[in-house]
Copies of this chain bind each other. A is one copy, B any other.
Amino acid sequence: MEELLKALSQIGQLKDLPRAGWVREQVPHPESVADHSFRAMVLALVLAPQLGVDVGRVLRLLLVHDLAESDPTVGDITPFDGVAPEEKHRRESTAMERLCAALPGGEEVLNLWREYNDGTSAEASIAKQLDALEMALQATEYERRHGKELVGFLESAWRKIQHPLLVQILTALRS
């Protein structure tokens, strides 16, 4: 029980972990990793039924996709941190194995996290696109709110989003 409570508190750290991309851009009071995951799931709930995928599975994938960042030895590693993608994956993978060992149903959580990272299932592909769309939405809101120029985040979203409906939303967002 003590191990479970410790793991849940570790996951709670995602409430206090600001998304590193916004910190780098000096956005005032940026959202937390948990905030981002929450709205990505809202996108899944309202959009996934039109995307031809299992909504429940997309919700679960998005719920766990950033859990590794709750590990104090990992955090929110971005492409600007000079950590090679393989090393980032290795650190996150080790962190997830440790965290999931302390969770009931941890094996399912670990499998979901791996499915998201592999990105090969239809649901993982949509989850990754919704993750990018949520970032694009947030970048646009921060641009308007703070008069910032955050076009790099939009370009990153354009590279990831392929589903016609999500492309349409991304286009409308910037028009």
Contact B46 A31 (CB under 8 A): no
A14 close to B (CB within 8 Å): yes
A11 close to B (CB within 8 Å): yes
A101 close to B (CB within 8 Å): no
Most chain B Cβ neighbours within 10 Å, of A8, A35, A36, A38: A38
Given A12-B137, A15-B31, A38-B38, residue A172 in contact with residue B46 (CB < 8 A): no
A122 close to B (CB within 8 Å): no
Contact with A169, one of B1, B9, B29, B32 (Cβ below 8 angstroms): B1
Tell me which residues across on chain B come within 8 A of A169, comparing CB atoms: 1, 4-5
Q: What is the CA–CA distance of A128 and B46 in the complex, to the nearest angstrom?
A: 22
Tell me which residues across on chain B come within 8 A of A49, comparing CB atoms: 104-105, 108
Q: What is the CA–CA distance of A83 and B98 in the complex, to the nearest angstrom?
A: 45
Q: How many copies does the complex hold?
A: 2
Q: Which of A56-64, A74-82, A84-92 is the contact stretch?
A: A56-64
Contact A172 B5 (CB under 8 A): yes
What does the 1/0 interface line of A1-24 toward B look like (CB < 8 Å)? 110110011011011100000000
Interface majority SS (helix, strand, loop, mixed), chain A: helix
Question: In the complex, how many angstroms separate the beta carbon of A160 from the nearest chain B beta carbon?
Answer: 18
A149 close to B (CB within 8 Å): no
Tell me which residues across on chain B come within 8 A of A105, comparing CB atoms: 45-46, 49-50
What does the 1/0 interface line of A25-37 toward B look like (CB < 8 Å)? 0000101101111
Show the binding face of A for B, using Cβ within 8 Å. Answer: 1-2, 4-5, 8-9, 11-12, 14-16, 29, 31-32, 34-39, 41-43, 45-47, 49-50, 56, 59-60, 63-64, 67, 103-106, 108-109, 137-138, 141, 168-169, 172-173
